[in-house]
Amino acid sequence: MRCALTIAGSDSVGGAGIEADIKAMSSLDVHCCAAITAVTAQNTTAVESIYPLPLDMIQDQIETVLKDVDIKAVKTGMLYSAEIAELVADLLEDHDMPLIIDPVLVAGVGDNLAKSDLVKAIKKKLIPICELITPNRHEAEALSGIRINNEKDAIYACEIIGKESSSVLLKGGHMNGSTVVDYLYLSSGVTKLEYPRLETAGHGGGCTLSSFITANMAKSVDIVNSIYSAREMIQQAIAEQYVIGSGSKLVNPVVRSSGDKEKYAILDELDAASEHLIDMIPEELVPGGGMNIGYAKRNAAGPEDIAAIEGRLTFHNGLLRKNGKSKFGTADQLSYVILAAMKHNPKIRCNMNLQYSEDLVDLLEEVGLSVEYMDRKKNKKLLTGELVNATLTKLGYVPDVLVDKDKSTNEKLVRLFAEDPDSMLDKLEQFL
């Protein structure tokens, strides 16, 4: 199990802070260790009181976890005071896992969550050792010392905050406009990320987003992809925010509910496998219309339960390129091929196609894969899925390879079957 550490405050109403961090990271299958900096008494309308923990207790929590657990990424949330921020920086500076800072200053309900000296300490001690800092407009103004009223200001603020070589994600939720524009400042420059404006993010939005990013980075996803995927998830978390009291709504960090877990695992596996395909598959094996790989949920009932790469993989300037990400319901024909295979062997849930050639078929047979042929001549009226089904019924098993030479459409494909994308890659490695 991948582990990350959050160093943050506890929120008694359970919408932000440590409580949100644990939910957000757990929903991405990352174990969240938690060092508490301060305990807050709050509900959805107000922060009633704050009790910062003694420095030695904060130090003990962090050291005790770090000396035992292989922490892959750390995030900080509410640090409350300069002393706590400095202590955290001292404890982390010799570790090389990525550090993500959510510079929490004010609660969603408007109450202060920081002493006045915190900003200076974050700038001086934490930003220089962090990988990414995720301020909102108000926090970016405090950290940069400038007012942010437009795009030019936003970019300038990012440059000031990130000048110590850290990356900055300036969140646009508190800025005006019909869409939300976030500014992502990396050493390579500033990228604008634009999203539809939903209702205002409620309590816990900042904590949840930075926890999604941290969990992704704990899984060794690079910083840009960690941010992009977290940003998409926070849209959903905001869309699913809920009411538990008379004040702010709570952002829902558990957008990947357990019912969806299998779906997300499938998408992740398919995305990972397709990255390998890019390195493995030579141009002559990619069909003219593109190549695809599909993977079905257990008990898949239709194409909506089967994921494939949207837009397929095609060759451009000598390089195989993915035209989209993995997605459910995006490849009907491939899906019906998989559904047909699953009827005969429910374990076979993955299929991909390659360009047919006699040489390829010889090679497949040489390495000992079972190769069978689809008989299109006698079954002209059948759709591909029905034809696969008829062929497999006749064969009585699902072979590794089904050769499909459809003269009428000029499409000549070799369809490979496997239990999952990993075993598909193993099969490919046998002959590539």
What Å distances lie between residue 143 and 11, 116, 161, 168, 169, CA to CA? Answer: 24, 12, 6, 11, 13
State yes or no: residue 11 binds ligand PLP (CB under 6 A). yes
Signed CA dihedral, 406, 410, 416, 417: sign only:
negative
Binding to ligand PLP in span 104-163, by CB under 6 A: 104, 107-108, 113
Say what the alpha-carbon torsion angle 321, 324, 329, 330 is, to the nearest 10 degrees: -50
Q: In one letter, which amino acid is 256?
A: R
Query: Which residue number, 92 or 107, has a Cβ lying nearer to ligand PLP?
Result: 107
83: left (phi over 0), alpha (psi -120 to 50) or beta: alpha
Rounded Cα distance, 221 and 87, in Å:
28
**Site map for ligand PLP, 254-283, x if CB under 6 A?**
------------------------------
Query: Which residue number, 253 or 399, has a Cβ lying nearer to ligand PLP?
Result: 253
How big is the site for ligand PLP, counted in residues (CB under 6 A)?
18
Stretch that binds ligand PLP, among 87-95, 102-110, 178-186, 261-269 (CB under 6 A): 102-110
The total of other beta-carbon atoms located within 10 Å of residue 137's CB is 20
**Site map for ligand PLP, 28-57, x if CB under 6 A?**
------------x-x---------------
Minimal distance, residue 47 CB to ligand PLP, in Å: 6
Helices (H), 67-191: 82-92, 118-121, 137-144, 151-161
Query: Which residue number, 108 or 294, has a Cβ lying nearer to ligand PLP?
Result: 108
Query: Which residue number, 137 or 203, has a Cβ lying nearer to ligand PLP?
Result: 203
Query: Which residue number, 207 or 402, has a Cβ lying nearer to ligand PLP?
Result: 207
**Site map for ligand PLP, 67-86, x if CB under 6 A?**
----------xx--------
- Give the strand order in the sheet containing 132-133: 47-52, 31-42, 3-11, 71-76, 99-101, 132-133, 167-170, 179-186, 189-196
The total of other beta-carbon atoms located within 10 Å of residue 329's CB is 14
**Site map for ligand PLP, 170-209, x if CB under 6 A?**
---------------------------------xxxxx--
Instruction: Give residues in contact with ligand PLP (CB under 6 A).
Output: 8-9, 11, 16-17, 40, 42, 77-78, 104, 107-108, 113, 203-207
